[in-house]
Structure formats: C-alpha cells, structure tokens
Amino acid sequence: MQNRPASALRRKRKQLLRQLPSLEALLRGSLIERYKRCGKPGCRCAQGPGHGPKYYLSVSFPGLQPQMDYVPQDLHEQAVVLLANYQRVREILEQISEINRELLRRREAL
Ligand SMILES: [Zn+2]
C-alpha cells in the first residue's frame, strides 16, 4: 500500500465498497456441530458418533458465556452464507480503514 499513489488507494476503496455484501444478510457467530445418541435400544447410533450433525449458532458477548441457538436444518445453508458475509464485511471495513489511515499519514484528503 505504501508505494501506491493516493488515486489508486481511493480506487481500491471504491472497489471494496462494491464488494460489500448486503448489510441485511449478516450473522455474527460460528456454527457448532453436535452429534447425539438417542438412547433407543438397538438404534445404530449407539455404534457411531450419534445422530447428526445438528448445528448450533454460538455467539459470544463480552463477559458472558457464549449463547447457543439451535439452527434448523432448512436454515443451515443460509446461516453459513450470512456468517461468511459477516466476516467479509469485517475484512472490507478493515481494508478501507487501512487505506484511510495511509491517506491520513500522507496528509492526503480522505
Ligand atoms: Zn439413535
């Protein structure tokens, strides 16, 4: 970034904005996989890891235990997309902020 002209940095900033996922489609947290044995006599799950995977959304909050919510199978795929979007938004914000910090260092207009 150091040796790129300010105009290139501003262009890159615009490009990053265009890559921003829809800000409606965000979900913070991570998916946890769980397998459970049902305990029914003769069920094949007794031999394996159990029924599953079942997914839970784990979300952390400062000073609290992570909160867990069950994610129904039919919403799992969407949840995966929204979680990835959240990470992408964070990356993009970080990159835009870095560009602006560099412009500031150069005493360039932001
Ligand atoms: Zn079972």
81: which 2 tokens?
Answer: 């997309």
> What confidence score (pLDDT) does residue 63 get?
98
Band (pLDDT 50/70/90 cuts) for residue 103 is: very high
CA dihedral 39, 44, 50, 53 (to 10 degrees): -130
- In the reported structure, the alpha carbon of residue 33 is separated from the centroid of ligand 1 by a whole-number distance in angstroms of 17
- In the reported structure, the alpha carbon of residue 39 is separated from the centroid of ligand 1 by a whole-number distance in angstroms of 6
- Rounded Cα gap, residues 24 and 21, in angstroms: 8
Contact 70, 53 (CB under 8 A): no
Exposure of 69 by Cβ count < 10 A (0-12 exposed, 13-18 middle, 19+ buried)?
exposed
pTM for the model stands at: 0.86
Residue 30 has pLDDT above 80, yes or no: yes
- In the reported structure, the alpha carbon of residue 108 is separated from the centroid of ligand 1 by a whole-number distance in angstroms of 64
